[in-house]
Amino acid sequence: MIILGIDPGLATTGFGIINTNGDGEYKIINFGWIKTQAKSTQGKRLEDIYQQTRKLIKKFNPDIVAIESLFFYNNSKTVIGVSQATGVIKLAVSHEKKELFEYSPLKVKAIITNNGKAKKEEIKKMIHKLLGVSTPKNKKTHFDDAADALGIAICHARIFLESKRKEVKNGGN
């Protein structure tokens, strides 16, 4: 199963694409970020996120798209931009006719690190452990966003695997 994980943001939207055969092993296909230009209008930034999301879906043809849901933000300006980015990402996923799952940051952290209050560094450390990928050396990146997106994809894979185990245990009912 190919899973596209997305960590929405207006300035930077992280993405991570993994493949899993349901045995708890994950293979990274690609990861990165959609970065919008700060000097662009908000409409142009949202259009860029929408178009780039559609391109990712067309190129990698994921079976599932998993996205981080909006949970809580201290900054109302940030929450508006993230909400709008989330909306255009959902629209892109719908237009590409893919199934979408949403997970709260607390759920993703709990599934990835066994700690719903884990810090960014803990998420990155687990992504490195599970996928062997880490922040590129001597290069300014938005790897935090990509690591979060990979975590979202792994979160979905683990939840999906657990639901299949329960299904088999209950005789397919």
Q: Most distant CA pair in the chain: distance in Å?
A: 56
Distance CA 141, CA 77 (A): 23
- 């798209």: which residue's tokens? 65
Instruction: Please give the distance of CA 71 from its chain centroid, rounded to a whole number.
Output: 14
Active site amino acids: 7, 68, 145
Count of C-beta atoms within a 10 Å radius of residue 50: 19
Specify the DSSP class assigned to residue 61: -
Listed in sequence order, the residues at least 6 apart from 141 whose beta carbon sits closer than 8 Å to its beta carbon are 33, 135
Distance CA 12, CA 20 (A): 26
Distance CA 120, CA 113 (A): 11
